Amino acid sequence: MIPMNFLRSLSRAALVALSLAFAAAAPVARAQLTIEIVGGTGTAIPIAVSGFEGESAWPLGISGVVAADLGRSGLFRNVDAGGVVPRPARAEDVKPDFWRARGADAVVVGSMQAAADGRVEVRYALVDVVRGGTLIATQFVVTREQFRATAHRIADEVYEKLIGHPGVFSTRIAYIAKQGSRYQLVVADADGAEPQTVVSAGEPLLSPRWSPDGTRIAYVSLEQKKPVVYVQNLATGGRTAVAAFRGSNSAPAFSPDGRKLAVTLTRDGGSQLYLMNADGTDLRRILSSPSIDTEAWFMPDGRSLLFTSDRGGSPQIYRVGVDGGAVERITFDGSYNVAPRALPDGKGMVYVRRDGGRYQVATLDFATRQTQVLTAGPLDESPSLAPNGQLVLYANDSGGRGILNAVSIDGRVKQRIVSPALDVREPAWGPLAR
Amino acid sequence: MNRPDRLLAVAALAVLLAGCQTPQSGQTGAPIENRAAAGAAGAGSGASTAGAGGAGVAGTQTPGRAGSAGTSGSGGSAAGAGSALRDPASILSKRSVYFDFDSFVVKDESRPIIEAHGRYLVANRGARMTIQGNTDERGSREYNIALGQKRADAMKRMMTLIGAQESQVETVSFGKEKPRRSGHDETSWAENRRGDIVYSGE
C-alpha cells in the first residue's frame, strides 16, 4: 500500500537536502544555507524513525541523520517516534497497531553495538505497519567515521524500497562559491555536509562536470586570462589543463565511460565541438560548421551528443553522433533553447529556454516532443540532474546573489536554498555512490 | 516506469499547438541578429584560421605557457611604438567596442576604433593583442562564452581584412563571467556586451 500510494509522487523523489553547510572551506565564511519549500507540498509518506538502541553511546548517532534525510526529501513526513517503552530495536518489536495510531505508515528501528574490534555493529529494519511485513532487515559493521555514510545508505535503502527509485542521499554535489573576488569549486555531501574546497582562484570558475565514477571533476577556469579546461583528481588534488589551446576552451562533458571528454574549442576558428581522451590526448574534431557549436552533453549510451548551435539562426539544441555525421535538430519552439542535459533513461532532456525574456528550466520528451516548463525564471540557469533523474538542481539570482534551487522532474515540488552570505552558482550533481 | 513521459504529457497539447503556430521562425521578442553579417562572419571562421598559432597542444601540462602563447610571447613589442596606445587624444586609447543584445555584429559607430587598431597592427608587425569578448548576464554561461567569442572574432576579422596578421590577434571570451558592471538593468547589460582590446605587455 505504501509504494502504490506514493507512486504518484515519485517525481518528487530525491528532493535531497541541500542545507548546504559551507563550513569546511577555509576562506568561505561559515554560513548555513536553509531550505524553503516554495511550492508543491502535498502528500508524503508518514514514517517513524525510532532512536536506535544503544545509539546514545556515541556522540553522533545514526537515526537522526536518517530521519533528516527522509524528511528533507519532501517525500516523507517524520512521525514522532519518541517515548516508546520499551524502545523497539528489531522488526519483531514493532507493533503495527500502535504505530498506525500514531499516524505512521512505516517504521524504521535499529540498534548499535560496539564490536570486539572497536568497530560498531549497526542493525536496522524497515517495517510496513499498514500491510504488515518487514521490508528490510540488515546490518553493517562500520567505524565511527562511517556513521554519517551509514545513515545516508540506510536512508537510500528506505527511499528506494518505498519510492521505487534509487535514493541520492549518499551522493555528492559540486558548485562554485564566489566570495569577493575569489571563486571556489566546492564539493559537498548531498546534504551539504563536509564541504571541501577543491580549487580556489582569483578568476571565475564555471562548468564543473563530474566524471561518471566520481573521482574527477572537469571545469573551466579563467585563471589564464582565457577559458581553459582542467580535469582535477579529487583524491590527489592534482589537475591537468586538458584544453589550453589558442582562443577559448570551454564546455567540458565526460563520456558515460569516463574515458572521453567533449569540449568546445576555438583553436581552428569559431566555437566548435571536439572529442579528446580525458587526459587531453588524441584530440579530434566532431563537427565542422560556420556556426556556434557548444555545450556538448553525452547521451547515456555514449554514442551521440546533444549540443547547442545557432546554425538555424538562433540558439537551438541538436544531436549528433560522437563521430560526427548527420545532425538532428531537437528543439524548434522559441528562439533560445540551450544547455541540454540528457535524462538518465535517454528518453528526454532538461534544458534552458527563453520565453518572452524569461529564462526557464524545462524538460523535453524526445519521442513526443512535449515540453514541460519546470521553473518560472526570470534568470534560471545551469540545470543539473540528480543521478536518479528525479530532481533538478539549478541556479538563479536572488537579491543580487546567486542561489541554488531544486525542482522535482515533474515541476511540482520546488525548493529554494538560501544563505545570508554566500553567492553560489553552477551546481553539478555527482554520480550515484557505488 | 517512465516519469518524464507522463509528466510531460500534462503540457503536451498546449505545446503541440504552440509548435504548430510557430515553426522554426519563432524569433518572437528577441532583438534580432543580422544573419547576413553572421553568415559573413561564419565564412571566415569556417576556414581554419588560427591553427598555425601553435599555442595549445593536446595534453599540455603547462597551461601558463600554452594559455597565453598568443599574447605574452612578444612582451613589450607594443610598447616601443606604443605611446599612441596610451595617448588619450588618440583613437587607439579607445579599447572597448559595444554590441547589441544577442548580436555579434560590429556596429558602424565602432568601425573606426577597430580599423585604427588594425592599422596599428599593420604598421607594427611585432605588436600582439588579445581581444576579449564579453556578454551580459542573461542566458547560459557556456553559450555566452561562445557568443563573446563571436564578438571578439568579428572584431579580429575587421583587423585582418585590412592587413593585420592572424598571428597578431588572439581572440578569447569571458562570456558573462567578468562583467564590468554588476547591475541587472539595460544600462549595465549594454556596458557588458563588449569586446576589449588588450595589447601584450600591457
Per-residue DSSP letter, B92? G
What number is the average pLDDT over the span B17-33?
Answer: 36
CA distance A403 to A395: 6
Contact A4, A10 (CB under 8 A): no
pLDDT of residue A288: 96
pLDDT of residue A40: 54
CA distance B1 to A48: 27
Q: Is the dihedral of CA A223, B181, B192, B120 positive or negative?
A: negative
A211: left (phi over 0), alpha (psi -120 to 50) or beta: beta
**A292, A332, A347 ranked by CB distance to B5: nearest:** A347
State which residue of chain B sits closest to A354, comparing Cα positions.
Answer: B139
Helices B35-46, B141-161: crossing angle, 10 deg rounding: 80
Contacts of A4 (CB under 8 A, 6+ apart): none
Instruction: Output phi, psi for A167, to 5 deg.
Output: -75, 160
CA distance A364 to A371: 4
- Which cell is B75 given? 612582451
Instruction: Output phi, psi for A187, to 5 deg.
Output: -115, 135
The Cα of A99 is separated from the nearest Cα of chain B by a number of Å equal to 31
- Does domain A44-163 match CATH 3.40.50.970? no
Residue B199 to residues B76, B111, B129, B135, B202, Cα–Cα distance (Å): 9, 18, 4, 21, 6
Question: CATH topology of A44-163 equal to that of A172-429?
Answer: no
Mutate to test the interface with B, among A75, A271, A288, A382 (most CBs of B within 10 A): A271
Go through chain B and tell me how many residues it has. 202
State which residue of chain B sits closest to A264, comparing Cα positions.
Answer: B146
Contacts of B186 (CB under 8 A, 6+ apart): none
Quick one: fold of A172-429?
Answer: Neuraminidase (2.120.10)
Contact A321, A302 (CB under 8 A): no
- Which cell is A355 given? 520565453
On the 0-12 / 13-18 / 19+ scale of CB atoms within 10 A, A289 is: middle
CA A213 to chain centroid, in Å, comes to 14
Mutate to test the interface with A, among B48, B143, B188 (most CBs of A within 10 A): B143
* Contact with chain A for residue B95, Cβ under 8 A: no
> Is the model more confident about B127 or about A72?
B127
The yes-or-no verdict on residue B78 having pLDDT over 80 is no
Q: CA torsion, points B142, B148, B149, B153, in degrees to nearest 10?
A: 160
State which residue of chain B sits closest to A379, comparing Cα positions.
Answer: B138
Mutate to test the interface with B, among A248, A336, A392 (most CBs of B within 10 A): A248
* Contact with chain B for residue A413, Cβ under 8 A: no
Just give the CATH number of B70-202: 3.30.1330.60
What number is the average pLDDT over the span B178-183?
Answer: 94
CA distance B102 to B105: 9
Interchain pair A365, B145: CB under 8 A: no
pLDDT of residue A88: 95
Interchain pair B55, A245: CB under 8 A: yes
Interchain pair A289, B46: CB under 8 A: yes
State which residue of chain A sits closest to B57, comparing Cα positions.
Answer: A245
**Residue type at A416 in one-letter notation:** R
pLDDT of residue A26: 36
| Number of helical (H) and strand (E) elements in chain B, helices listed first | 10, 4
pLDDT of residue B15: 34
From B52, B161, B54, select the one nearest A244 (Cα to Cα).
B54
Which residues on B lie below 8 Å from A240 (Cβ)?
59, 61
Interchain pair A370, B9: CB under 8 A: yes
**B7, B9, B15 ranked by CB distance to A409: nearest:** B7
> Is the model more confident about A412 or about B154?
B154
The model's pTM is: 0.80
- Which cell is B189 given? 547589460
Say what percent of chain B tops pLDDT 90: 54
- Which cell is A403 given? 542561489
Most confident range, picked from A67-71, B86-90, B157-161: B157-161
What number is the average pLDDT over the span B88-103?
Answer: 95
Contact A140, A66 (CB under 8 A): no
From A324, A290, A294, select the one nearest A308 (Cα to Cα).
A294
The yes-or-no verdict on residue B53 having pLDDT over 50 is no
pLDDT of residue B55: 33
Which residues on B lie below 8 Å from A15 (Cβ)?
none
Give residue B11's pLDDT band: very low, low, confident or very high (50, 70, 90). very low
Chain A, 209 to 248: residues with Cβ < 8 Å from chain B are 220, 222-228, 230, 240-248
Interchain pair B26, A276: CB under 8 A: no
Contacts of B147 (CB under 8 A, 6+ apart): A292, B102, B104, B133, B135, B173, B175
Q: Give the largest CA-CA distance in chain A.
A: 74
pLDDT of residue A418: 67
Could you state, in order of their start, the residue ranges of all structural domains in chain A? 44-163, 172-429
Chain A, 102 to 121: residues with Cβ < 8 Å from chain B are none
Contact B129, B199 (CB under 8 A): yes
Tens of pLDDT, residue by residue over A367-401, are 999 999 999 999 999 999 999 998 999 999 887 78
Which residues on A lie below 8 Å from B28 (Cβ)?
334-335, 356
Chain B, 157 to 186: residues with Cβ < 8 Å from chain A are 170-175, 177-178, 182, 184
For chain A, list residues with pLDDT below 50: 1-32, 34
